[in-house]
Structure 1
Amino acid sequence: MTTEAPEIRIVDTYRISCDGGEGALGHPRVWLQIPEDSGWVECPYCDCKMVHKEFEGKV
């Protein structure tokens, strides 16, 4: 049995929110800041990886 990789979302801002995206089955909304040097951040609740569009394919 394999575990699916966490979701990866390409975003166009460095400050983004994540709520799990599944309504009542999601998680509390959190605001995350993508560091401009690394270009990505991971949600501490759902492990979704948010990648800024300028870093797409580089992370």
Structure 2
Amino acid sequence: MSVPQQPAHAAPATHKATARRVACDGGEGALGHPRVWLTIPHETGWVDCPYCDARYVLDPDAADHGH
């Protein structure tokens, strides 16, 4: 099975994640957004925050990178 490629994306920020479960709060203190927990799917290896569009990409060396 091939892994889907990341679509072109003008993310305001792209972060390397070391775990499949990540938290995003917009990173701007009081000007951010409510903290949300996101899970990076095995199928894509990345997830976008529904509030700020920041992208979290699973590091290929992460312990839980395997399928």
- The alpha-carbon deviation at position 5 of structure 1 amounts to 4.2
TM-score using structure 1 length = 0.81
TM-score using structure 2 length = 0.72
Structure 2 gap segments, 5+ residues each: 1-9, 62-67
Q: Which of 31, 45, 48 is the aligned partner of 2:51? A: 45
Cα deviation 1:28-53 (Å, max 9, x = unaligned): 00000000121000000000000000
Aligned structure 1 segments of 4 or more residues deviating by more than 6 angstroms: none
SS at match of 1:24: helix
SS at match of 2:27: coil
Structure 1 gap segments, 5+ residues each: none
More helix by share: 1
